Amino acid sequence: MAEPDPEIEKLITIFQEEVDRKYNRLIGRLARKLTHPKREQETELGNLIVDIVDQLDMLDVTLIGSGSIRRTKLGPLVTLSDIKEVFPYDDVLYKLKVPGVQLTKIFAHIMRLENRIPGESCCFQVSKGIQAVYSDSQNQLESLSINGQPVQADAQYTICIEEYHYKNSLHSLGITIEDLTKLDNAKVISTPCQNVLEEYFSHHQNLNSQIEGRLIYKLSSAYGKS
């Protein structure tokens, strides 16, 4: 077995110290530890992340994939390494304009029971002001409102989604790219998303978030009652 080279070991140590200084740097604080225990439900951490993204532009609805959030908890101290572990994807964020009938179709697709199989789901965290109610027993979306106002089929709404979900919209949202862009072309509003989170945490302290009932599931008898 070859003997360790002292010069190489010294170089590795220097490199590791530089990496640690960069990624273990404290960039923010939360008021308390926030959790993201399951991707198939609304979560505290999910609400915080989607609400940060929602502030990028004038948006009616922001959808962030629950699976994009890769840790189950964050805080109260937040380092750069924490941000990159919690949200490791550098996805572009797209802004689109869709009619209410399509927005309703999207929520019916992402909230359906068969999309909530643990480990196989393509579920989303949704921005503040949304309240969507889905009935498992009826297998349908019962209602969808934004800031207390029911979504109107013929009205137009501005939404934000990640690049992955835009490019795979039929699977992720139940809508083809052609249908998503009928009213207007998709516009990039930020890239990458990870930098958006880093900058926000750097300039805002004692952040907090609660589960608010943005996504409400009326469970069938096989799954218990909500």
At 19, the pLDDT band (50, 70, 90 cuts) reads very low
CA distances to 54, 135, 139, 219 from 223, rounded to whole Å, are 32, 12, 13, 6
pLDDT, one tens digit per residue, over 158-169 is 999 999 999 999
Residue 172: per-residue pLDDT: 97
Distance, in Å, from the CA atom of 63 to the CA atom of 176, rounded to the nearest integer, reads: 16
Nearest to 27 by CA among 86, 91, 81: 81
> Is residue 206 within 8 Å of residue 30, measured between CB atoms?
yes
- The pLDDT mean for the chain works out to 90
Q: pTM of the entire structure?
A: 0.88
Distance, in Å, from the CA atom of 198 to the CA atom of 16, rounded to the nearest integer, reads: 22
